[in-house]
Structure 1
């Protein structure tokens, strides 16, 4: 049987690229040939994560190796045009999905055709996009190639989407909750608020042969039961970072979970954490999309200062349109804070000095924090963030929520609560243990990964047939 070959196509945002790369590393570790497809724009801005052994043309660039897969056989990087104008090229928002859907299908089809004709490269046997990148499903269908989608949630099985008509956007439907306690649709990603049954990511995902989720069975049992009523194959393989480090170690070859960063990372912050007491540091990172006003930033700053704790604050250069942290704040907290533009978040959360995480609650951050057993102070903004907050905080008790209107007094109060509450810390520790059990041999995520690999192998052509 020929080696299976998966073409992984993540949505061009950091929140999709890195978990997709973690999944690709896991599959490669278990014998799957991987082609990882970035947009040309992102391929250019993350050269420090890639080996520069490249073949370049205007339409594509092939790079061998990244991080722990550098130099290993059967892991290649390719690029397709991003489909954005020069004015829009730097945008990292979900509006890009419209551009990729309409402009990237032909380049991906050409890439797969080229791969299938490249000596020494096994034929493509699976196309694996992330959510919000549904166009690869159509390409794969046209080429007769099986598909799997890497996604977080599907809402169709509960009748949430599509909306019946546009009046449902304003008639209160979005604020209703189901009898089972599910979050209101208004608390869930704005990108599923559609009236077109053929224009929603949940609808498009149902066209895939399998669904892959960065979660574990014990955490999302109710949602998984509903999904399995519609999907034949659902693979829970999370937390991915933990599975990379621990699950692969069980096979004698642990793989680092570091991803590709769209920003230069400050690794020296880890050395600063080494000088701090255990569980004494508040880590703050508002993610790759959140923007705020100078007033909001100041409220967070003075709230943190009043908490009395030491803190590590990762602030992107573009988190506000102008200005920065108040000079008086920097002077007052200089002895107990470190401010950096970007840092290796998963390593920071696993550091023993970190006691809580102030986060907007995107899925990757939530998953990484739970896997590390770190309590959260949450300020959700958009997309999956509000939904993750509703599920995680209400269901598992691992954090507290800030109001949308930032007030320094509440920031101080909730940071102190997350750092000091024995109940929250115990809950966080319990879910860390559950996550660890899932990714160890015979655990649900470990076994689901092996099952997924067996499925990929069974779809590979027999070269002797």
Structure 2
């Protein structure tokens, strides 16, 4: 079925139908939301971005969009722990509720406003703001920026608690298989935390996200059928009545420009041009994850001792004030480059990159797979443990360094295994196959292109 046009001729000329979007203000959530906005704008929709003052996007990078800032009253600085991050999400919902209601009402009451607006696409962690939109007659669609497998974990959490998997009471439980959600082990579940307080907070967060999706008019996922066919089928079964649109990989299919909150050092691309094919280990632990100074030092010396060329995107604040150890620069001179932040999608697509050491966030895992690059995963929190499990045991395109304190000898062995062994070359072949499947999904007539068409038609059907 061909997608409808997102504008309608009137006596005053063509009238564009408008989609409202509201991302939660973390880099790993902002990027996919802007990519969805880019897809819809490319299909003819006007786009209005509601956003918090915290981590506000730069409107000058997206001149075709309208921007509506929503006061949040929150202090600057990103949360540093699981509990603080969850409480920050709850605080965003609460503090933005009234100002969002006022600004949405003003938009709808402007001349032609209510007639133009088709729907709100909001991050699934913004349940309160989705409720505000529905109260004002605006249909809502939920965007989850993780995998379909991860959302199945969200939905299964009450059952997992009932069956005694959660909360974890002993270290010995962590490696037990979760028979209802293979290939997960207990340690890979979302609600495995260090305290009962954190467990309760995370369970509330997951329940609210499930409610946001279940009460929405549609569910958008940054994945594709060939990558998660079984998990997508199970998600559709469990969400009977809510249409599911797998439109990924968004960073490949969307025409949106960068929405990075950090300045990217593009000089690293010139450095990569001078490196041998598939020789460089790219290292980045994402925009929110953190590590101790001790782990940073062990990671650095493990990489140095591997003698492997590397590009390290070392985000300011990653190690809570710690820096790379003394002597690291001299030891790696001539075969390593450290930058503050890198254009990751371009780096992973570069022919010189042969491996990716990542925290295992979904955006990074998807970008690694699409780039055909095998991964070394060091998960920190949230969905990262489950993603690392899929990279290693389902995709068989990488290695997981699970939990515990990093040790330089283990890092060195893992880097050599990924970059120089026959097993690593086999992982690289499987990663390249994943990249080929992603390319097929976004090609004309591919599964994700078809899903985008269905999404556009669905949004048009919501417009009154």
TM-score by length of 2: 0.85
**Cα displacement string for residues 334-376 of structure 1 (whole angstroms, at most 9, x for unaligned residues):** 2111111111111111111111100010000001111111110
Deviation at 1:168, TM superposition (A): 4.0
1:308-457 pair list within 5 angstroms: 308-404=307-403, 405-420=405-420, 421-457=424-460
1:248 is aligned to none
Structure 1 distance, partners of 2:94, 2:221, is 26
Deviation at 1:143, TM superposition (A): 1.1
**Cα displacement string for residues 254-297 of structure 1 (whole angstroms, at most 9, x for unaligned residues):** x3x54222222211111111121211111100111222222211
8 Å contact from structure 1 (residues 398, 425) kept in 2: yes
8 Å contact from structure 2 (residues 153, 189) kept in 1: no
Deviation at 1:207, TM superposition (A): 1.1
8 Å contact from structure 1 (residues 281, 356) kept in 2: yes
Which of 155, 171, 186 is the aligned partner of 2:152?
155
Structure 2 distance, partners of 1:366, 1:211, is 21
3-state SS, counterpart of residue 322 of structure 2:
coil
3-state SS, counterpart of residue 102 of structure 2:
helix
Which of 220, 224, 227 is the aligned partner of 1:212?
220
8 Å contact from structure 2 (residues 282, 353) kept in 1: yes
Deviation at 1:130, TM superposition (A): 1.1
Structure 2 distance, partners of 1:327, 1:242, is 39
Which of 60, 66, 78 is the aligned partner of 1:76?
66
1:97 is aligned to 89
Deviation at 1:455, TM superposition (A): 1.0
Structure 2 distance, partners of 1:203, 1:239, is 25
Structure 2 distance, partners of 1:25, 1:201, is 24
Alignment partner of 1:124 is 2:124: no
8 Å contact from structure 2 (residues 301, 408) kept in 1: yes
- Mark the CA change 1:185 to 1:31 in structure 2 (over 3 Å): closer, same or farther: farther
1:241-280 pair list within 5 angstroms: 241-244=251-254, 255=255, 257-280=256-279
8 Å contact from structure 1 (residues 284, 358) kept in 2: yes
- Mark the CA change 1:374 to 1:167 in structure 2 (over 3 Å): closer, same or farther: closer
Moved more, 402-411 or 97-106: 402-411
Deviation at 1:329, TM superposition (A): 1.1
Deviation at 1:327, TM superposition (A): 2.4
- Indicate the RMSD between aligned Cα atoms, in angstroms: 2.5
Structure 1 distance, partners of 2:325, 2:438, is 39
Deviation at 1:423, TM superposition (A): 0.9
Which of 17, 20, 37 is the aligned partner of 1:7?
20
Moved more, 170-179 or 420-429: 170-179
Alignment partner of 1:35 is 2:35: no
- Mark the CA change 1:380 to 1:7 in structure 2 (over 3 Å): closer, same or farther: same
- Mark the CA change 1:103 to 1:165 in structure 2 (over 3 Å): closer, same or farther: farther
8 Å contact from structure 1 (residues 155, 202) kept in 2: no
Structure 1 distance, partners of 2:163, 2:228, is 30
Q: Gaps spanning 5+ residues in structure 2: where? A: 1-7, 9-14, 192-197
- Mark the CA change 1:327 to 1:158 in structure 2 (over 3 Å): closer, same or farther: closer
Structure 2 distance, partners of 1:34, 1:293, is 41
**Cα displacement string for residues 227-247 of structure 1 (whole angstroms, at most 9, x for unaligned residues):** 111243000001001112xxx
Which of 136, 139, 144 is the aligned partner of 1:146?
139
3-state SS, counterpart of residue 322 of structure 1:
coil
2:463 is aligned to 460
Give the count of matched residue pairs.
425
- Mark the CA change 1:181 to 1:361 in structure 2 (over 3 Å): closer, same or farther: same
Moved more, 389-398 or 434-443: 389-398
2:195 is aligned to none
- Mark the CA change 1:198 to 1:448 in structure 2 (over 3 Å): closer, same or farther: closer
Deviation at 1:379, TM superposition (A): 0.4
- Mark the CA change 1:210 to 1:414 in structure 2 (over 3 Å): closer, same or farther: same
8 Å contact from structure 1 (residues 28, 34) kept in 2: yes
Deviation at 1:4, TM superposition (A): 2.7
Structure 1 distance, partners of 2:344, 2:116, is 36
Q: Gaps spanning 5+ residues in structure 1: where? A: 52-65, 245-254
**Cα displacement string for residues 309-354 of structure 1 (whole angstroms, at most 9, x for unaligned residues):** 2111111121122331122111111211111111111111111111
**Cα displacement string for residues 125-174 of structure 1 (whole angstroms, at most 9, x for unaligned residues):** 21111122212220122012111101134337964326449994145787
3-state SS, counterpart of residue 310 of structure 2:
strand
TM-score by length of 1: 0.85
1:54 is aligned to none
Deviation at 1:119, TM superposition (A): 4.6
**Cα displacement string for residues 382-408 of structure 1 (whole angstroms, at most 9, x for unaligned residues):** 011001111222101110112422111
